[in-house]
Each structure stands twice: as C-alpha cells, then as structure tokens.
C-alpha cells in the first residue's frame, strides 16, 4: 500500500539562516501508523511538521501527501488540500478566539466538503463534534462558550477534537499534551490514538515527553542541524 506521507531528501533553510534547519533523507508514514517525533529544542520539529502539512514548502526534495507533491500546488490549492486531508493540532492551538468551542471544532467541515461528508457518515458533523468533545472530557457546559474563555489545557483538547473531526488521513500534533496533567494526558492519548487507529489516520506527534513514547508504533529522532532523521525501533 502507498504511504500516506513521504518526505524525500528534504532540505529547508529559514531565510537569513546560514545552515539548513531540515536535512533529512527519508521519512514515510503509513495509514494507521502513529509516529512519535522527538529531538532537542530548536532541532526543527515544528518546522518539519509545517513542511509535512504543506504550510512551508521545501527548498529541495519533496513531501508527498496521498500521492501529490505539495510543491506542485499553489498556496490556495495547498490550503484546500490541507483542510480536506490534514488535522493539525498547533502548538498555540490556533483556535478562533471569539467563536464557540463547538463551532471551532466544526470549522474543517465548513471549509471542506470531504471532511463534512466523512463527519456525516454516522450522524451529523455536530454530533461527531459533541462526541469528540465528550471523549476529550470537555463538559457540555463549555461547548457554547467562546474558545478564548477556556483554560490552556481545555483549548488543547478543543484543538484535538477539531483535528480529528471528519477523519483526516493525516493528523499532525505539535506538543499537544504540554498543558495536561497526567490523568488528562493519558485520556487525551487514548482518544487520539484510538481515533487514528480506528480511521487508519497516520499520526505524526511531536513531544519532549519520553514517558509516552512507547504508546506509539514508531519513534523518530530528529537530531540537530544537518543530520538525517533516524528511525528507531520502538
Ligand atoms: N519563522 C521562522 N523564521 C526564522 N527562523 C525560524 C522560524 N521558525 C523557527 N525558526 C528557527 O528554526 C529552528 C527550528 O525551530 P523549530 O521551532 O522548528 O524547532 P523545534 O524543534 O520545534 O523546537 P521546540 O522543541 O523548542 O519547540 C530554530 O533555530 C528557530 O529559531
């Protein structure tokens, strides 16, 4: 089966920097595979996630999502394709602050017919949004509040529900458990990993927290600048 995601001889240098931030030989992620991506602070993990999701485009090499190279698409086409196929939990969540919690979760379904159709398979998108928020342990009393009135840990869980709605083929998570206590962290991982395995979504999950690494099917270490990403057996 074709991988969901392929990154091939990928190189990216930030404007003004004198050395590449990302220089990796190859990374492939299959459907249903869950990857724990780790490495020292500043080694380029968030940058790599942006390249995998087509937010940034590499200087050389390629990133192929579901058979299509991000670099071959216009910025507008990349935006459309991202919302259709990628659920992204950003480090800063990127929730719309004045929009309610539930409407934030429903956003991908508003912008993508595919996400809307997939979220409607067993009911309505709203019902799936509510189910995800419940699984994430967010009390129904919070669902209609503006997202900005929630705590950081609550917003992290809203961002995760938004990433999972409509079963995207790729889920990307940038340190999504940093503000959660141990119980919440385990519950969060239960929901995220089980949703990805059930729907065969590929997951790339960045974290510094080695305690949770064994819960993933594979670990990838992203070493410092100018080094290839090294796959490790888990
Ligand atoms: N927008 C930007 N413009 C220029 N340089 C950037 C930008 N974003 C990140 N960098 C640089 O790229 C390098 C990698 O940053 P990145 O955020 O990808 O690392 P990280 O591994 O995710 O770090 P952390 O674990 O601390 O979140 C750093 O040296 C950073 O200064």
Residue position matching structure tokens 């309610």: 100
Angle subtended by helix axes 125-135 and 101-111, to nearest 10: 130
Pocket of ligand 1 (CB under 6 A): 14, 21, 39, 41-47
Indicate which CATH number applies to the domain containing 65. Answer: 3.40.50.300
> Residue 158: which domain range?
5-232
Ligand 1: atom nearest CA of 49 is 18
**Distance of CA 123 from the midpoint of ligand 1 (Å):** 41
Closest atom of ligand 1 to CA, residue 208: 25
Look up tokens 């960045």; give the residue. 206
Q: How many domains does the chain have?
A: 1
Q: How many CB atoms lie within 10 A of CB 200?
A: 14
Rounded to two decimals, the pTM is 0.92
Q: Ligand 1 pocket check: which of 37, 46, 210, 222 to mutate, most ligand atoms within 8 Å of Cβ?
A: 46
Q: For the complex shown, is ipTM > 0.85?
A: yes
pLDDT in tens, 168-203: 999 999 999 888 888 889 989 999 999 999 999 999
* pLDDT value, residue 232: 53
Question: pLDDT tens-digit profile of 62-109?
Answer: 999 999 999 999 999 999 999 999 999 988 878 999 999 999 999 999
């Amino acid at each position: 089966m074709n991988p969901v995601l392929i990154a091939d001889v990928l190189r990216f240098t930030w404007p003004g920097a004198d050395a590449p931030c990302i220089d990796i030989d190859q990374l492939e992620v299959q459907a249903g595979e869950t990857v724990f991506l780790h490495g020292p602070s500043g080694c380029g993990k968030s940058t790599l996630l942006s390249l995998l999701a087509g937010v940034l485009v590499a200087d050389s090499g390629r990133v192929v999502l579901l058979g299509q190279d991000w670099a071959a698409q216009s910025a507008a086409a990349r935006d459309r394709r991202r919302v259709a196929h990628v659920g992204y939990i950003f480090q800063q969540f990127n929730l719309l602050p004045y929009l309610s919690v539930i409407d934030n979760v429903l956003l991908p379904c508003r912008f993508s017919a595919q996400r809307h159709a997939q979220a409607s398979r067993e009911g309505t998108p709203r019902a799936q949004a509510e189910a995800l928020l419940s699984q994430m342990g967010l009390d129904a009393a919070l669902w209609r509040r503006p997202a900005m009135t929630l705590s950081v840990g609550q917003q992290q869980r809203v961002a995760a529900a938004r990433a999972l709605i409509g079963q995207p083929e790729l889920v990307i998570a940038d340190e999504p458990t940093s503000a959660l206590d141990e119980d919440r962290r385990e519950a969060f991982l239960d929901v995220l990993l089980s949703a990805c395995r059930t729907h065969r979504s590929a997951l790339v999950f960045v974290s510094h927290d080695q305690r949770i690494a064994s819960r993933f099917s594979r670990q990838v270490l992203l070493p410092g600048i100018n080094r290839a990403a090294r796959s490790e057996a888990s």
